[in-house]
Each structure stands twice: as structure tokens, then as C-alpha cells.
Chain A
Amino acid sequence: MPKYSLDINKKSYQVEVAEDTPLLWVLREHLDMVGTKFGCGIAQCGACTVHLDGNPARSCSVPVSAAKGMKITTIEGLAEEKLTPVQQAWIEEDVAQCGYCQAGQIMTATALLESNPNPTDAEIDAAMSGNLCRCGSYLRIRKAIHKASKLKNA
């Protein structure tokens, strides 16, 4: 089986897996980073969102071979010394119900705020429309994104 060197959360990892293995499963089962979640396997729900070179990507549909050479950031790698404004806002707004989709929501929201520090509601709608939440936590997600924007700009 081919070997891959992956740059994840600013560290280098070596894995030996079939080239079509989705990045999601490499993270979860080969590297024990289980924060990135499996939801649909076809890039339709957003639970598996990670950043590839800073852009949100659906790790269930990115084969490990395609992630080679890219800077991969997962939910585990967001906080360095302290929680990021997005994580902090998510806690303070008590966003989660079951919490399962939230890693993906946070990764998408984080990428949004990187490119657009003060998003309008319409811009939040557009950015977040690909992340599903069966619990219906969307209203709190919106509040948390606005709060994170304030925390980030403060």
C-alpha cells in the first residue's frame, strides 16, 4: 500500500493506506483524530468539513492521495494556546444540542470569518447552507457567528 506524508494541524504524519481512502477515514481511524465526523459520505451534509490550505473541504470525498502536500486543518487543530473566537462563541451561545454536526459547522464558520470578518446574515446563510443540523441549531449558529466576529475583531 502507498505511503503518504500528511501535514495536519502543523504536524507531519505518515500513513500507509490505499490511495482512494477518504481523508475522513485516515483522520478518524489511522490517526485517531475523531473530531471530524462521518455524516453522509457524499459531501452533502458538511459534518466532515476540514480546511485544505485554508479552504473548507468535505473530507469524506477527498481521497488521501489528493490531500498530499496540502495544509490540512481539523477541528482538533483550531485552538492553539486557547480556544478560537469561533469555538468560544459556540460555547457561550450554547449552540450544540446533540453536537454531532458542530465540528463541521465550526470549520465552515471559521473559514467564512477568515475571508469575511463581518458577514451579513445573507452572507452567513450562503456560507452555512451546506452544513446540515437535524437538531435545528441554526439560529444559535447564526448568533455564535456574529459573536465570534465581534470577538475576533475586538
Chain B
Amino acid sequence: MSTSLNRRNFLRISALAGGGLVIGFPAMVSCDNPAKKAEAATSWENVNAFLKIANNGEVTIKAPNPEIGQGVKTAMPMVVAEELDVPWEMVSVVQGELDTENFKDQWAGGSQSIKRAWPRLRMAGASARYALVSAAAAEWQVPMEECSTEDGFVLHKGSGKKISYGKIAASAATVELPEEVPMKDPADFKLIGTSKLNVDGEKIVTGQPLFGIDYKVDGMMYAMLVNPPVFGASLKSVDDAAAKAMAGVKDVVTFGNKVAVVANSTWEAKKAKEALKIEWNAPSNPASTQKYVAAMQRSLEKKGKVQRKNGNPDKAFREANQVIEAKFEAPFLPHNTMEPMNFFADVREDGVTLVGPTQTPARARRTAAEITGMDESKITVNMTRMGGGFGRRLKADYVADAVEISKAIKAPVRVLYTREDDMTAGVYRPASQYKFRAALDKEGNVTAFHVRGVGMNSGVVRDANFPAGAIDNFLADGHTIKSDITTGAWRSPVHNFLGFAEQSFLDEIALAGGKDPLQFRLDLLEKAKKNAVGELSYDPERVIAVLKLAAEKADYDKQESGVHKGVACYYSHSTYVAQVAEVVVEDDKPMIKRIVSAVDCGIVVNPVGAINQVQGSVIDGLGHIYFGELTFKDGKPDQANFDKYRLIRFPEAPQVEVHFVDSKEDPTGLGEPALNPAPAAVANAMFKATGERWRITPLDPSKRPGVVELENRI
């Protein structure tokens, strides 16, 4: 019990004290009772905003942040339960509602949930435990210091007295907390670091309502909408006579550049939507893939805005023994969460109820406040489990749709996008290109390094990325090209392609200089560690550690006939990842044997969930590098559904081994970081096996001769 935090940074205990159920969200959340207690709970005490304790010792913990598949609905309550010192079997988890009074950073993005909430979650458990111990000590009239806790009980050694949390919870709820309460020494963690299954596991496999699309209340209407078919287009006129005459149709609502059909059912709304006759004003210069790819290629040849400069790169390039250059291209990508965009809104005179999948519930509320003019205090937001997010649900455009429609029809409504709506009216991963150059001396050492990037609507150069800091003469510059095509965060923004490009290029220059790609990276990192050139975003020692762990687990140094190993490492979102991909050639066909991942995310809260994140990230990253591509003609996406848009499929997923660095550092996130290096590790191994270097994505072998089919794996 060593660490402590000032409670003022955290939460009050008294305001919420008292019995009664915490309101989760109606009709959708019930509290499981996995403990199967002999006695049912008959009363509950809200010990603090995060948790309540029943008289039979059961504990309900709120997961404050939205769950998009990153596992925080399980992992966050685990941290609370650890400090509270209760067996996990006694804990039920409910999704917390948006509550800016008691919770902070209630959003899911940038792999930040666990990292940011770590001290607050610990404090939630520790302060409740303090209150329970304090209440028991008062009842026994013994000093608190003589009491301890274990598995949901307060104990007093001297007298042998023992009382369950359930029995003392009512008194605990009235305890005044001191400035600081003790927290556990991480060495004493019993629950953190053990694998706990997804708290929604049984509901998922039995098809219980969990997701936004599953939500329903009496009187709810179903809406579908038409977005502008072309980026940059605006609404000219709507003829809704035919649509309004169709069965089940209640109304047609126009707002901004959107037209919504409101009906008694989704299917009726969808059919009526197709019967709308809408005219659009076309944009003057509609986007097309041909145009923007060429524009980016031209930009790459021009000096961009300098983002980092160390030493004298021009001079070093002039004096180089050898200059290596390579260009990389990436397309726009839609998010394609399996659950399409949807949201529920009920705009009434006295307030607004919002329910649905959002990575940013506070933004959802702000959006509703702006549209309705209502005070935020009158707007409630309940977050459903999300069928994926990947950055798409950071935006509140589809929340605004639901609010606009409900406001217009004065009834509760659920808006749902078709897959075509979802894919063609997205906020995409921006298309981007990179040009890398490296100057080598006679020994193959890198004397200068230049990265130039160009992105649609946003910059794509990260000035402190490795190998920045490890090379004396370094230049990073970039361009941005404006487009009508809407763009936004897409799982591991920028890094998701920069990781591929940068780590592929590092391999190219290592080999051009006659060096082993792993040792080449380690040497650069040693240099950054001993004598960094300028500012570093990463800790070289931790990169070295993951590289060495991946190499060790993959037997990188062992020469095996017919086995080709490619390495890559990448730091993002405060987490360090290195991967070694193994490719074997059988019957002249290269195949991915496995991808070994080494990860340093500090303390691993829930290993079974963490492994899932890493494996999924690798498969997702590889799938998108191989197949992901949204192209445009006359401002319109060419792909609108999964018949033309290709996601990685089951037979194409390679084996992914996951190893974590044993660490006592505070935990960092895992939703994104493992995605970034994997495609380059595979590409680097494939280069060894085939001599082909891949730089233009998607790699899709049907479009790029020389690329090996992904389903060739063992």
C-alpha cells in the first residue's frame, strides 16, 4: 500500500451515498449475478460513482468509457475491483452513462481509455475500500491501521473479527474521505494481469440486445436517409410525393443536404427512400482518384512545409556514396464497422434522450444541444456496446441526423444507415503518399534521411518518428491537399500507413548498405539512446526491448532453409510493438507462417483481451494493406458494399503470436499500436522470399503482379 493520490483530483463520495438502484439504461441493461449467491441481494449502497455494493456482498461496477471492441468494459472495472479487493466473481459490470460530473474522458479514441483512466479507476476502488475499512474499524472501535481487506471482507487481526463488504456498505457510504487514500503496490495485484473473459460474452453468444441498432422503445419510428451522392454536392430539390404515399411512411424530413424518410419499419423506410426524386447541385470540380493521385505525386516532387530539420541534409545528400529513394502510396479507406451508423434520439420539450453507439458521448450531447438549443443538462446520453468504431464514431454526424429527425417529427426515432450509406458517406482515412530518401556512406551507414509526405485534407508526416533522433542529418517536410471528400480518424491515424512505408524503407536502406535489418535498427536505436539528435517521441530503450523480444521469440538469428524473416517495429499511442513475420516457400509459393508480435504496453491489465487486440490489429492492418481501397469518379465512391469492397476474410488470416514485455510501468492502450508495423514485417519477409518490393497499396495481387496472395498461409 504505497501510492496515493489526492482525492480532489478524483471524486466525492457523499453526494451519491444512499440506497437505491443506479440507473443504467432502461430495457437494455440488466445486472448479471455470476456469483450465484445463496442469498439474493435485497438492498444496494452506492459507495461512490463507480460502484455499488449489495447487502449480500455483490458488487456492481460501472464501466465509464464506451466499448467499441477494445475491451474496456471488462478491463476498466477490473482495475476498480483490484483496488477494492473483491473477487471478480462477485462483480457485475454495467455500462456507465455520460456523466461529466463524476467521470472524465468518457470517450474511446487514440487508445487512451486505460492509460488516462488508470489513476482514477484505481482511486475509485481504493477510496471505496478505505471507506469500508473505516466503517468496520469504527464499528469494532479499533484503529483503521489494524484492519485489512481480503476478497470482499474487512478483517481485524487482533480480534479475529471479519465482516463482509455487504454488511458494512451502508455505513461506508457515509464515511468522509481524507485528502489521500492508500492504493496497492502493483506488486500486490491479484486481479490485474490475470485473464478475465468479456463481461458481455454470454449476451453476445445468445443474441441479447446490446448494440445501438438493437435499441427500441414504444412509439419509436424508423428513419433512413439519403446523403449527397457526390462529395461536394448540395441539395437542389426534393419530390417526396411518391415516397410519402407508400405503406408505412409517416414523413419525409429535409435538413441540410440530407433527406430522411420516417416510417413504421426500416424496410418500409428503405423502400420509400428509393422512391424519392431528388435533384442535386453538382460540385464544380468533383474529386476523382485519377486526379488526386496525380496531384499527390506532383506534390512529392516539391519542397513542403518543413516539420523537422537536423544537421545539414542537403550537404549530406550531395556527399553521399549512395542515395536510396522510394515512394509509397495509400488509398482512402472507409471504416466499415460491422454495425452501420445508427442512433436513437427522442427530442421532447423537456429534454433529449440519446442512445446509441458513440465513441464521443460528450460530443453527441453537444451536437444535440446545438441543434435543439436545449441546455446540456437536459440531454442524457447512454452508450451502447458498439459494433466497431475504428474512429468513425468519433464523429457525431449520424447523431445529428437522429436529433434533426426527432425534432422535426416530435417523436422518438432511430436512424440507420444502409451499408451503402455508411460506405459512401463516410469520413475516410485520407489517401496519402510518401517519398523517402536516404544517403549512405561507403560502409552503408545512413548519413542523411529525408521523409516527405502528402495527405488529403491533413498532414501525414510525424516529425519525431523513428529514425528521427538517430540520424545526424534529417529532414521531414510535408504537404496537404484539400478535398471535398470528408476525412477523419481511422484506426491509428497516419501511423496505419506511415508504419508500413517507413518500416519498409528502413529495410531497403539496411539491405542497400549490406546490413541485417534487425541489427541496423538496433544500431540506430542505440545511437538515439546514447546521443539523440534533437527531440525524440519514443524511448529507444523500449523499442530495443520489443525488437529483441520479437527476435528471440521468432528465432530471428537462426538460419532455417526456406524460411524468410522480416522485421518491423513501431511506436504509437504510448505503446511499443515489434513484429517478425516468417515466410516459407513451398512449391515455389511464398506463404506466411506466422507473425510474432512483441508488445510493451506497460502493465497488461487483462491478458486474454490484450492478446485479442494484438491479433485483431495485425489481421486488420494486413487486410487493409492488401485489399482496402476506396476509389472515386466524379466525386462518387466506386465501392458501396462488400461485393466490391474487400475486407480480409477468414482463410486469409495468418497465425499471430503475441508476447508482452514484463513491465511495471503504468498501462497504455492496445486498440491501435499493433496494427502499424505488421504489414511491413510481412512485406520485408516477402521481399527476402521473392525479391519483390511492395510500395503501392492495396497490394491486392489481382491488381499488382508480383504480390503474393494472402491466403497462401500455413
Contacts and interface: CB of A to CB of B under 8 A. Distances in A.
14 contacts: A21-B265, A42-B643, A75-B205, A96-B69, A98-B69, A98-B386, A98-B387, A99-B69, A100-B386, A103-B204, A132-B649, A134-B338, A139-B615, A139-B653
Contacts of A101: 338, 387
A94 B608 CA distance: 7
Given A25-B266, A39-B419, A96-B198, A34 B213 contact: yes
A97 interface: yes
Interface stretch (B46-54, B307-315, B441-449, B618-626): B618-626
A91 B197 CA distance: 7
A137 interface: yes
Contacts of A136: 615-620, 623, 648, 653
Contact of B609 (A17, A42, A91, A94): A94
B619 A139 contact: yes
Contact of B210 (A17, A79, A99, A131): A99
A90 B613 contact: no
B206 interface: yes
Nearest to B67: A98
Contacts, number: 189
A41 interface: yes
Interface centre among A33, A90, A92, A136, by most chain B C-beta atoms within 10 angstroms, is A136
B418 A132 contact: no
B420 to A, nearest CB: 8
Contacts of B390: 134
Interface in A76-105: 76, 78-79, 83, 87, 90-92, 94, 96-103
A17, A87, A94, A106, most chain B CB atoms within 10 A? A94
A140 interface: yes
A62 to B, nearest CB: 13
Interface residues of B, number: 65
Nearest to A124: B650
Contacts of A38: 213, 340, 416
Contact of A135 (B204, B216, B388): B388
Interface string B211-239: 10110100000100000000000000000
B209 A34 contact: yes
A90 B338 contact: no
Contact of A44 (B69, B205, B642): B642
B414 to A, nearest CB: 10
B247 interface: yes
Interface string A106-150: 100000000000000000111011111111111111100000000
A36 interface: yes
Nearest to A18: B247
A47 B267 contact: no
Given A75-B206, A87-B205, A135-B616, A99 B642 contact: no
A125 B650 contact: yes
A97 B69 contact: yes
Nearest to B204: A99
Contacts of A79: 206
Nearest to B209: A34
Interface centre among A28, A36, A131 (most CB of B within 10 A): A28
Interface string B639-669: 0011100011111010110000000000000
Interface centre among B68, B338, B608 (most CB of A within 10 A): B338
Contacts of B419: 39-42, 45
Nearest to B216: A32
B649 A129 contact: yes
A42 B618 contact: no
Contacts of B616: 97, 135-137
B348 to A, nearest CB: 23
A37 B195 CA distance: 28
Contacts of A45: 338, 419, 642
Contacts of A35: 206-208
Nearest to A102: B204
Interface string B310-351: 000000000000000000000000001111100000000000
B612 A94 contact: yes
A125 B338 contact: no
A134 B620 contact: yes
A74 interface: yes
A90 B205 contact: yes
A142 to B, nearest CB: 8
Given A38-B213, A138-B650, A133 B338 contact: yes
Given A97-B71, A102-B204, A131-B650, A1 B247 contact: yes
B484 interface: no
B691 interface: no
A76 B203 CA distance: 10
Nearest to A105: B650
A98 B388 contact: yes
B265 A25 contact: yes
Contacts of A56: none
Contacts of A90: 201, 204-205
Nearest to B620: A136
Contacts of A1: 247
List 6 tightest A-B contacts by C-beta distance, closest first.
A35-B207, A100-B387, A98-B69, A136-B619, A75-B207, A136-B616
B622 to A, nearest CB: 9
